[in-house]
Structure 1
Amino acid sequence: MTGAGNLVLIGMPGAGKSTVGALLARRLNIPFIDIDELMIARRGRPLQKIIDTEGLQAFARLEEETILALDAAASVIATGGSAVYSVAAMTALGRDGTIIFLDLPLQELEERISDMTTRGMVIAPETTFAELYRQRRPLYRRHADLVIVPGGRRPAELVIDIEDLLRRRGLTLGR
């Protein structure tokens, strides 16, 4: 891909960042990087186990360190939902790419997230998913170069929409 650098997907847990990201990378014939998977590989255990054993602050540090250590070019990157809490991480991602916010409505996200206690989500025990959504959504919007509102479309349709939007913005995509 030329002109766009990396394509970075941000959004709430359940927004489809990993699914859409993998499909988009395949369509563009470029690498796909999932930050959550990198974190799992670094610690050798699932995200929720990292949170349970190391705590939310250590998890956030790991996420930031993983993003800051990333050496990627012309790749699709799916971030964890909490990446937007790190200004340093988001600045680095934005410097090297176009940040795309997958903006799903709260109701649809809640339908997709059945169990918050096993997902590996950075959320304080007393916070509801709706509160988390209200806290994060302004951060996603602030960091986003582009906002995609899925509107019930399937991941493959979103990939085509993203590709079209990037072209309309003058970003040349290579295959």
Structure 2
Amino acid sequence: MTPQRSVILVGMPGAGKSTIGVQLAKELALDFVDTDLLIQLREGKPLQDILDESGYLQLRYIEEQTLLESFLPNHVIATGGSAVYGQEGMRHLRGFGPIVFLDASLAELKRRIRNYETRGIARRPDQSFEELFAERRTLYQQVADITIECDGKDQQQILDEVCVALAAV
């Protein structure tokens, strides 16, 4: 990986973006930021409150504006699961470094996520997790420079695979 570049992590809620992101930041000696936290700080409330008060489209708009306002060189950036809906926001992030898709299967994500209804996931109110997964997975694949299959691997194995893949970029 080129020195002084960021790494952008994308994937579904529960894929491990924040968990792996913190470990990757330590490994690469970069700062870490979770864009969901940036949104919450900007708005002064949890994501679920934004959803409840303003709806999923407004949360996606706020997310993209937050990304566009961010200057994040030398960071591992864990994006919110819906960041890929904002093409301009993703294009902005790509300017900081490669995009890594942490790809976990639907079965694995269902095992990890127990709070789907209250987690602050930007989705249509009638949209099932299965439908959301199918819709977003295609978007993640389109933006990814690197895809890491996460099923059946522990955090260290995923971290190692990300580091090897980044070294080749």
TM-score by length of structure 2 reads 0.95
Report deviation, 1:95. Answer: 2.2
Identity %: 41
Structure 1 spans left out of the alignment, 5+ residues: none
TM-score where L is the length of structure 1: 0.92
The offset of 1:79, in angstroms, is 0.3
Runs of 4+ deviating beyond 2 Å: 1-4
Residue 7 of structure 2 is matched in structure 1 by 7
Secondary structure (helix, strand or coil) at the match of 1:8 reads strand
Letter matched to residue 38 of structure 2: L
State the partner residue of 2:53.
53
Structure 2 match to 1:107? 107
Q: 1:106 to 1:4 in 2, by over 3 A?
A: farther
The Cα offsets for residues 65-122 of structure 1, whole Å up to 9 and x where unpaired, read as 1111110112100000000111101111112210000010000101111121210001
8 Å Cα contact 1:101/1:147 also seen in 2: yes
Describe how 1:1-175 pairs up with structure 2 within 5 A. Answer: 2-3=2-3, 5-167=5-167, 169=168, 171=169
Quote the Cα distance in structure 1 between the aligned partners of 2:88 and 2:4: 20
Per-residue deviation, 1:151:
2.6
Tell me the SS of whatever aligns to 1:19: helix
Rounded to whole Å, the distance in 1 between the matches of 2:13 and 2:85 is 14
Q: 1:97 to 1:56 in 2, by over 3 A?
A: same
RMSD: 1.3
Q: Which runs of 5+ in 2 are unaligned?
A: none
**AA of the residue aligned to 1:145:** D
Shift in Å, 1:3: 4.6
The Cα of 1:137 is off from its aligned counterpart by: 0.7
Amino acid at match of 1:119: R
Contact kept? 1:6, 1:97, Cα under 8 Å: yes
